[in-house]
Amino acid sequence: MQYVEISTDFSAAHFLESEFIHGHNFKVKVKFYGNLDNDGMVVDFDKAKDTLDEICNKFDHKVMLAESSVDSRNIAGEIKVQKKIYDIAKEDIVFLPISATTAEYVAEYIAKKLKEKFKSQNLKISVELEENYDSSATFFM
Q: What is the CATH number of the domain that holds 123?
A: 3.30.479.10
* 103 part of a folded domain: yes
Whole domain around residue 24: which residue ranges? 2-64+99-140
pTM of the model: 0.92
pLDDT (0 to 100) of residue 72: 47
* 83 part of a folded domain: no
* 136 part of a folded domain: yes
* 73 part of a folded domain: no
Using the predicted structure, report yes or no on whether residue 75 has a pLDDT greater than 70: no
What is the number of domains present in the chain?
1
Intra-chain end-to-end CA distance of the chain, in Å: 15
* 8 A C-beta contact, residue 51 and residue 127: no
* 79 part of a folded domain: no
Specify the higher pLDDT residue, 86 or 120.
120
Specify the higher pLDDT residue, 50 or 82.
50
pLDDT (0 to 100) of residue 108: 98
* 86 part of a folded domain: no
